């Protein structure tokens, strides 16, 4: 997958916000913001990344879990990569009160049933710090309990 700064020439497509709710996402440090039902032209590799990660899927009032954005004016090979569902631009209504993605900050919690447990970090929590992502150097050395 390319990064914005590495590409000399772009192929473009248009993303359509299928909801009546403003939305935004970030790719390579750049924020792409959409007004309700708006259209935004983006590089094809951004749209491909957006669909492959699935971060912008929402539950609809019909209990379907679908992409918030639809693609228009995209190159023909994008249809083969992402499928026809990516080119669906019919308006959708997100179900209210449903948490999406990893955002649990808005989750309803009962303070009487919620206990916050502070967890101390140890050296073992940083076992791959400084290593290449996914690198394996064998079993980690034993870590003695600190403190």
Residue in this structure with the two tokens 């473009």, named with its chain if needed: 12
Instruction: Write out the DSSP string of 23-45.
Output: EEEEETTEEEEE-TT-EEEEEHH
Tens-digit pLDDT profile for residues 34-51: 888 889 999 898 899 988
pTM over 0.85: no
Burial track 5-21 (b if 16+ CB lie within 10 A, e otherwise): eeeeeeeebbbbbbbeb
Give φ, ψ of 71 to 5 degrees.
-105, 135
Per-residue pLDDT of 109-119, as tens digits, reads 777 877 777 77
């Amino acid at each position: 997958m390319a990064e914005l700064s590495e590409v000399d020439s772009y192929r473009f497509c248009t993303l359509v916000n299928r909801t009546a709710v403003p939305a935004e996402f970030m790719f390579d440090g750049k924020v792409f913001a959409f007004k309700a039902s708006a259209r935004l032209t983006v590089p094809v590799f951004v749209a491909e990344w957006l669909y492959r990660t699935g971060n912008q899927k929402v539950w609809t009032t019909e209990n379907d879990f679908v992409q918030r954005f639809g693609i228009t004016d995209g190159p023909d090979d994008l249809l083969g990569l992402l499928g026809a569902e990516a080119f669906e631009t019919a308006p959708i209504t997100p179900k209210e009160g449903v948490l999406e993605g990893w955002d649990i900050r808005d989750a309803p919690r009962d303070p009487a049933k919620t206990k916050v447990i502070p967890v101390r970090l140890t050296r073992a929590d940083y076992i791959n710090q400084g290593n290449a992502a996914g690198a394996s150097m064998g079993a980690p050395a034993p870590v003695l309990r600190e403190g």
